[in-house]
Structure 1
Amino acid sequence: MRRHLSTALSLVLFLIAWGVAACISAPGPGDDAGQPLAARPLPAGVNALEASLSLELAEMEGEEHPSLHNLFTLSPNIISGGEPATSAALEALALRGVKTIVSVDGKVPDSATAAQLGMRYVHIPIQYKGITEDELLALAKTFRELEAPFFVHCFHGRHRGPAAAAVGRLVLDGIDRTQALAEMRQWMGTSTKYAGLYATIASAQLPAAAESAAAGFAFPAAHHFAGFRAIMVETSRVWDRLALLSKGDWRIDPAHPDIDPRNEARQLADLYASAAVSDELALYPANMRQLMEETRADAEALALVLGSGGGASTTERPTTKSPVAIMDRLKAACVACHKSHRNR
């Protein structure tokens, strides 16, 4: 009986808090610069993940195109999706009327092709653990001062991109925090393991229009990384290509003759070998360094099994000859590393 009463009381308290949030976060008429007032943070104690389910949205499926994936038109101002990795993808965005593309991924975007098509690229890389104050300021200034419609993307268009698009919805469209959280989770499928992204949208104090107007952010088209982070940016793309080849039993797809399993496996092995000796890795705990060494050995083993050997020896880590089993081990290592270091 006491357990039922406790559960009921917890639910009532949450609903009261959410109701308060809905009242105080409704957008006002606008600030002195004519911009919508960004909704206030949800009250302390309101769980962002619970709030993302407190408002039930009508179902929406992302659009899928040959060159564009996970496309969600959230408003006339904001479109969210995956990386436009080809000229055809950028052309498709231009045909949709997009004027500004915001990338929050680590890869340097193709701003030159975008410019030829009449679109401006702004590169604001963010991490899975959340969005910093400086990054929020840059995003808010971009949405307030550059031309809409905006296309906001990360790599796959599921986690970081939707969080950045939510910032645009808050500062440009004037929606409330609960709506923004619900769109991330219910429409775009942002994983709940990225609690920091949800916490940012729920609780971060967004800069006022006057503050973003005074900021010195110059809307750079490219932010260049070096070292470990640059290696990981490229590794994620090689991994996706290998996963695609694995589904096709390692046969080359005639539609993508440039994606060869031997070359991709060799690239992965070389990338992990570089990561294993990078200066930044020395700053991580011993368990992270050990995990990276095991991952390097498995990646080298995959290259050998798929016929592109020639790197470091794998005699210190005996392994099965099944490329699928090696891929499973590599994936498990990535998940463990991300959980301990990237997502926190």
Structure 2
Amino acid sequence: MSRLPIERRNAPSQRELLMNRKLTRIVALTLWGCLSAAAMPPRLSIAQQSVTDTNASIAAHRVPTQHLPNAVQVSSQVISGGLPEGEQAFAELQSLGIKTIISVDGAQPDVEMAKRFGLRYVHLPHGYNGISTERTQELAKAVRVLESPIYIHCHHGKHRSPAAAAVACIAAGQIPAADATAILELAGTSRNYQGLYRAAIAAQPIASTTLDALEVDYKSKVDPPPMVEQMIAIEHAHDHLKQFAADAWKASPKHPDLDPAHEALLLREHFTEMLRGEIERQSPEAFLESIRDSRDAAAGLEAAIRSGLPHRARQAFVNRIQANCVACHRRFRDVPLSE
């Protein structure tokens, strides 16, 4: 076999050697950069960081937000928090990547505002005394089948929503049952709400076959019972008055349209409404006594504000109403469902 002739070449010059070395360095740096970029994950938004892996179990942590009270990441798919109020709050939900909002509060959700930002609202209210088996199953199926990420809220985001989120995520198999207490403590859930703690601690994964067979018509709004409706109105007026007291009875920049005397008047009327009709007929006398005293205190607060009495006099009425609320809740509202 004949060999092919080998082309004879002159040895490379010193200049060629330097150029080759420089080119080799450039190629090596370029390849290193490409490989590093390929190896490093892309920067993610808050929502992407939280919800990229639907099966990952994460440690519960606070979510930094400006317009969403007490936001806590409960699972890779679920954030718990307080009521979103106004365009800025819904815009922040949208920026977090939220697709579905679940309200466990009794108040009517702002469905129209949610639609403006492409969000779906689902209303699954429950009380402070715990979460029923039926509601647990509905919440578990919701976080399993509704478009995620999901934001679950109550009013303040401290008690009902973290309990609901923990129960839902545990029952749906998204987080370990052992995480329940830590989630409630992180959110600041008061130990006075024994029913909420019991519901969270007792939560266990529900079989996929059970959730698959469960038929739920998820509505954007449900009508609360008369008692719940009045309690919601009382809570809102009371919250406004407590904020006025904390701000030395000055107008709030957040709610410049609110007037303290008018809020006291509304609170008095809400308490008065509790003493009429079905609520009065079905309530125990001890409960009605607390409502009557709170009504009188609200009337005294209104008079104190209109007559220009100093802060100390007004605060005495606020404290009296607050004490009645705490005692009443402990005796009647927060009793666990199992008792």
Considering the TM-score relative to the shorter chain, is it more than 0.5? yes
Residue 155 of structure 2 corresponds to which residue in structure 1? Answer: 155
SS at match of 1:79: strand
Is 2:313 aligned against 1:322? yes
Distance in 2 separating the partners of 1:259 and 1:199: 38
| CA positional deviation for 1:266 | 1.2
1:298–1:237 Cα change, 3 Å? same
Q: Which AA in structure 1 matches 2:303?
A: L
Q: What displacement does 1:203 show?
A: 1.7
Structure 1 equivalent of residue 249 of structure 2: 250
The correspondence of residues 202-221 of structure 1 with structure 2, limited to 5 A, is 202-204=201-203, 206-221=205-220
SS in 1 for 2:151: strand
- Classify 1:296/1:153 alpha carbon distance in 2 versus 1 (closer, same or farther; 3 Å): same
Q: Are the structure 2 counterparts of residues 273 and 190 from structure 1 closer, same or farther at C-alpha, using a change threshold of 3 Å?
A: same
Residue in 1 that maps onto 2:140: 140
Determine the C-alpha separation between the residues in 1 that align with 2:312 and 2:107. 33
Q: How does 1:42-191 map to 2 (within 5 A)?
A: 60-61=61-62, 63-65=64-66, 67-172=67-172, 174-185=174-185, 187-191=186-190
CA distance in 2, matches of 1:247, 1:335: 19
Give the Å deviation of 1:173: 5.3
* 1:81-139 CA distance string (max 9 Å, x none): 11002222111101110011111000010112212211111100011110001111211
- Please list the CA deviations of residues 11-70 of structure 1 after superposition, one character each: whole Å capped at 9, or x if unmatched: xxxxxxxxxxxxxxxxxxxxxxxx98xxxxxxxxxxxxxxxxxxxx989555351x2210
Aligned-partner SS, 2:83: coil
2: distance between equivalents of 1:254 and 1:126? 32
- In 1, distance between residues paired with 2:171 and 2:59? 23
The corresponding residue for 1:6 is none
Rounded Cα–Cα distance in structure 1 between residues aligned with 2:172 and 2:268 = 44
Separation in 2 of the partners of 1:252 and 1:106? 27
Tell me if the contact between 2:61 and 2:73 (Cα under 8 Å) persists in the aligned partners.
Answer: no
State the 1:162 CA deviation.
0.1
Cα distance, 1:173–1:115 mapped onto 2, change above 3 Å = farther
| 1:215 to partner: Cα distance | 2.3
- Per-residue deviation at 1:277? 1.8
- Corresponding position of 2:324: 333
CA-atom RMSD in angstroms: 2.4
Q: Residue 69 of structure 2 aligns to which amino acid in structure 1?
A: H
Give the distance between the partners of 2:100 and 2:60, measured in 1 at CA.
Answer: 27
Paired positions, count: 278
Query: Quick one: distance in 2 between partners of 1:153 and 1:86?
Result: 15
* In structure 2, C-alpha distance between the alignment counterparts of 1:206 and 1:126, rounded to whole Å: 20
Q: Secondary structure, in 3 states, of the residue corresponding to 2:306? A: coil
Does the aligned pair in 2 maintain the 1:144–1:171 contact within 8 Å? no
Match of 2:43?
Answer: none
Partner SS for 1:122: strand
Hey, what does 2:259 align to over in structure 1?
Answer: 260
Q: Which amino acid aligns with 1:134?
A: E
Change in 2 beyond 3 A, CA 1:170/1:127: same
> Percent identity among equivalent residues?
33
Q: How far 1:191 moved relative to its partner?
A: 1.1
CA contact 1:72–1:80 (8 Å) conserved in 2: yes
Whole-Å separation in 1 of the counterparts to 2:236 and 2:201: 30
**Which of 311, 333, 336 in structure 2 is aligned with 1:342?**
333
Aligned residue for 1:253, secondary structure, equals coil
Distance 1:176 1:70 in 2: 22
- Could you tell me how far apart the structure 2 residues matched to 1:112 and 1:85 are? 12
Higher relative contact order (CA 8 A, sep 6+): 1
CA 1:64–1:174 in 2, change beyond 3 Å: closer, same or farther?
A: closer
TM-score computed with the length of structure 2 as normaliser: 0.76
1:301-333: CA deviation from partner (whole Å, max 9, x where unpaired): 11222229xxxxxxxxxxx98110000000000
In the alignment, the residues of structure 2 paired with residue 59 and residue 214 of structure 1 have an alpha-carbon distance, to the nearest angstrom, of 30
Q: Is the 8 A contact 2:100 2:149 kept in 1?
A: yes
Which structure has the bigger radius of gyration?
Answer: 2
Q: Is the 8 A contact 1:127 1:160 kept in 2?
A: yes
